[in-house]
């Protein structure tokens, strides 16, 4: 099993980091390593779990203090709890609540963190665009559904003119404590879900949920050069947070439709270009298609099948740059079919006038064959 990394290292902060610095570092890294941004990376989920675990500990003053003192060693190991992580991962009949009670301030305790601000949910949308739109950039509008705060009750779920009241089941603490001998267990209040408040007269508009599902039109500027599978993040365009928490983000995963003739390799365009064997042999001007329109290009005399030519700056616009990739032309020499008798006779006459001197590859091959049998 791989050794656990130091939580401060995971978040990229110093051990003297403030709460705000930890919060900012977590939000930044969460956006960078979100599994949706790395669909082909199987380790992305584990890295994201590691990041959330580090944030859960370092963003909680008591857990952070325990971590600074004990590290990953479980101070309760001698009491039969095992030698695991004392900060989470236990679910043995309420043992997680027992540890929470033992380390989180004793009998006095704190109000549940469910009462504090909570960031809104992130949303994901898959946007399909054409090859040309990805290469040149575009502006696209689309519709999404999201849960938003109720306009009538402003999100508190109570009928206008009334307000949520302290939960009578937990007296507004959001927690239920049960004592048994020397040990006290703490669990989230089932009546209020840990919020510490309940609604007696529900808002008619939202049924007391404080949320309403709405359809919204979103407009996004797709940058030139974006590739298939890349993600655009629109900060704050997800669902609104709870109790004053920030809104989530909208992750737009771009899907690019294949082109009929071009293929993409980084910022370069690849094009299989057919030419007649006469053009390949004698050379000539051809008209080559590009994303900006056709351009003339000179095929040199004696061009062989598979030869590649590069047209500078005729490729894909680079992201956040004025530069462009190239168009790579791969020559496909086409042999004619369905020749008439006159054409066949002309080819036979031509072939009779040639020798191995005009065919470099054939001459080299025949020389090697002669050496083989000498």
Q: Is residue 115 part of a domain?
A: no
188's CB contacts (< 8 A; 6+ apart) are 112, 114, 174, 175, 176, 194
Q: How many domains is the chain built from?
A: 3
Q: What is the dihedral of CA 206, 212, 214, 220, to 10 degrees?
A: 160
Inter-axis angle of helices 44-58 and 19-32, to 10 degrees? 170
205's CB contacts (< 8 A; 6+ apart) are 150, 151, 152, 153, 212
Secondary-structure percent of the chain, ordered helix, strand, coil, rounded to 5: 30, 25, 45
- 65, 89, 113 — which closes off a domain? 89
- Cα angle 112-116-122, degrees, rounded to a multiple of 5: 115
Do 236 and 267 lie in one domain? The reply is no
pLDDT one digit per residue (tens) for the chain, 374 residues:
456 788 998 999 988 888 888 988 988 888 887 776 777 777 777 888 888 888 988 988 888 888 877 777 644 433 334 334 444 443 333 344 433 444 444 433 444 445 567 888 999 999 999 999 999 999 999 999 999 989 998 888 899 999 889 989 888 888 888 776 566 788 888 888 788 888 888 999 988 888 899 999 999 999 999 999 999 999 999 998 877 788 999 999 999 999 999 999 999 999 999 999 999 999 999 999 999 999 999 999 999 999 999 999 999 999 888 899 999 999 999 999 999 999 999 999 998 888 877 777 776 776 777 777 76
Do 285 and 247 lie in one domain? The reply is no
Do 66 and 9 lie in one domain? The reply is yes
Do 292 and 328 lie in one domain? The reply is yes
DSSP class of residue 67 equals: H
pLDDT in tens, 172-213: 888 888 776 566 788 888 888 788 888 888 999 988 888 899
In a 13 Å sphere around the CA of 281, the CA atoms on its Cβ side amount to: 9
**CA dist., res. 102 & res. 94, Å (int):** 13
**CA dist., res. 297 & res. 312, Å (int):** 12
Q: Is residue 175 part of a domain?
A: no
pLDDT at 252 (0 to 100):
95
294's CB contacts (< 8 A; 6+ apart) are 287, 288
pLDDT at 2 (0 to 100):
56
Q: Is residue 116 part of a domain?
A: no
Do 133 and 248 lie in one domain? The reply is yes
pTM over 0.85: no
Q: Is residue 167 part of a domain?
A: no
Do 268 and 337 lie in one domain? The reply is yes
Supply the range of the domain harboring residue 19. 1-89
Q: What is the CATH number of the domain that holds 140?
A: 2.60.260.20
DSSP class of residue 281 equals: H
pLDDT at 181 (0 to 100):
58
CB-CB contact of 73 with 81 (8 Å): no
Could you count the other beta carbons within 10 Å of the beta carbon of residue 271?
A: 20
Q: What is the CATH number of the domain that holds 33?
A: 1.10.287.110
pLDDT at 78 (0 to 100):
38
pLDDT in tens, 44-75: 778 888 888 889 889 888 888 888 777 776 44
Q: Is residue 339 part of a domain?
A: yes
């Amino acid at each position: 099993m791989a050794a656990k990394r130091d939580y401060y290292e995971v978040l990229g902060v110093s051990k003297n980091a403030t709460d705000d610095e930890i919060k900012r570092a977590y939000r930044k890294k969460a956006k960078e390593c979100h599994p949706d941004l790395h669909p082909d990376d199987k380790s992305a989920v584990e890295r994201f779990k590691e990041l959330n675990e580090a944030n859960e500990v370092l963003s909680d003053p008591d857990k952070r203090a325990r971590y600074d003192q004990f590290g990953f060693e479980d101070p309760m190991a001698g009491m039969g709890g095992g030698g695991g992580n004392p900060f989470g991962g236990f679910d043995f009949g309420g043992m997680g609540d027992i540890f929470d009670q033992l380390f989180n301030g004793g009998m006095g305790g704190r109000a549940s963190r469910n009462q504090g601000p909570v960031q809104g949910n992130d949303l994901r949308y898959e946007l399909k665009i054409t090859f040309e739109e990805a290469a040149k950039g575009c502006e696209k509008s689309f519709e999404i559904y999201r849960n938003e705060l109720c306009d009538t009750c402003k999100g508190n779920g109570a009928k206008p003119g009334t307000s949520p009241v302290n939960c009578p089941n937990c007296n507004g603490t959001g927690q239920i404590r049960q004592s048994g001998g020397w040990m006290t267990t703490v669990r989230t209040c089932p009546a209020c879900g840990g919020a510490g408040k309940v609604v007696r007269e529900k808002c008619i508009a939202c049924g007391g949920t404080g949320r309403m599902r709405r359809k919204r039109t979103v407009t996004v500027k797709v940058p030139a050069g974006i590739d298939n599978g890349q993600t655009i993040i629109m900060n704050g365009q997800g669902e609104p947070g709870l109790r004053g928490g920030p809104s989530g983000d909208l992750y737009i995963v771009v899907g690019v439709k294949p082109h009929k003739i071009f293929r993409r390799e980084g910022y370069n365009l690849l094009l299989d270009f057919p030419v007649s064997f006469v053009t390949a042999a004698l050379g000539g001007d051809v008209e080559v298609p590009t994303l900006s329109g056709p351009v003339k290009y000179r095929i040199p005399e004696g061009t062989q099948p598979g030869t590649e030519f590069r047209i500078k700056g005729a490729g894909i616009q680079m992201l956040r740059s004025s530069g462009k990739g190239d168009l790579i032309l791969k020559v496909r020499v086409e042999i004619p079919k369905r020749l008439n008798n006159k054409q066949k006779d002309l080819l036979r006459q031509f072939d009779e006038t040639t020798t191995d001197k005009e065919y470099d590859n054939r001459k080299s091959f025949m020389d090697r064959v002669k050496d083989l049998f000498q």
